[in-house]
Structure 1
């Protein structure tokens, strides 16, 4: 999987600097414009349905959104000229954000590890669209979604 020092740096930032991502335990495993992957492990604090012991839907949506945003950001970063300063990169990606997010919950969120992947559907100068899926460690589909992201 090709990567760049800049994408590695942004990945570390997402893993270490965003408090809510740390709280949930989200970890960037793959970060590129063709596919990104985010993973997290089951924690009792993430329960949304106590009697059934299943993952909170907001955690699922957050993981899908983060992963979709990553693939959109990677598309932006990969199109920047090589001589773009780090400050310019930060300024550019700080303008990225979610415009719309649709989540379809397919099965209850059960498992030990949750793996979320995102693929780019469209990447333009202003807007990117991603398709995301969340599976558990047994490759059971938990949820999928589509995200639209402002990138310019």
Structure 2
């Protein structure tokens, strides 16, 4: 069985999430940063993502999904960094057990823009649970929302 180093692990998981997760693909999410210190997801405005049609505002569910995805990335990256050259089979088994335990989102401003950037940093990364802080900005740096996510990672 082939063992993988952390950078290969992060690349493989990122490619999988960008290409193989149908919901993220439908939303147009692209993972642009994936490290134990920071996760980042970007996506472009499309009318299909609109929640408030008269005001042309991003749907709150898209906002929360972007924040949750960025938080999950940084939580997973922290878990992966603690693994000692895992096999691909072990990696997939560990990833299958990861998930969101709790998510809190605070909407600060209407989601307007051409591009949106959801970023996350880790607050705590343990063997079983990780906690992340997330923010959503548009291309001009306008702070649209922030959140806190708790993730099962072990």
Q: State the Cα RMSD in Å.
A: 0.7
Aligned residues: 149
**What residue in structure 1 maps to residue 3 of structure 2?**
none
Give the alignment's TM-score, normalised by structure 1.
0.97
Residues 132-151 of structure 1 aligned to structure 2 (within 5 Å): 132-151=134-153
Q: Deviations over 1:15-49 (max 9, x none)?
A: 00000000000000000010011000000000000
Alpha-carbon distance between aligned partners in 1 of 2:61 and 2:36, rounded to the nearest angstrom: 25
**What residue in structure 1 maps to residue 35 of structure 2?**
32
**What residue in structure 2 maps to residue 127 of structure 1?**
129
Q: CA deviation at 1:94?
A: 1.1
Residues 2-151 of structure 1 aligned to structure 2 (within 5 Å): 4-82=7-85, 84-151=86-153
Which structure 1 residue ranges, 5 or more long, are not aligned? none
Q: CA deviation at 1:6?
A: 1.2
Alpha-carbon distance between aligned partners in 2 of 1:124 and 1:77, rounded to the nearest angstrom: 12
Q: Secondary structure at the match of 1:100?
A: strand
Which structure 2 residue ranges, 5 or more long, are not aligned? 1-5
Q: Deviations over 1:95-125 (max 9, x none)?
A: 0100000000000000000001000000011
Give the alignment's TM-score, normalised by structure 2.
0.95
Alpha-carbon distance between aligned partners in 1 of 2:92 and 2:141, rounded to the nearest angstrom: 35
Q: Deviations over 1:41-96 (max 9, x none)?
A: 000000000010000000000000011001000001110002x1001011011101
Q: Secondary structure at the match of 1:4?
A: helix
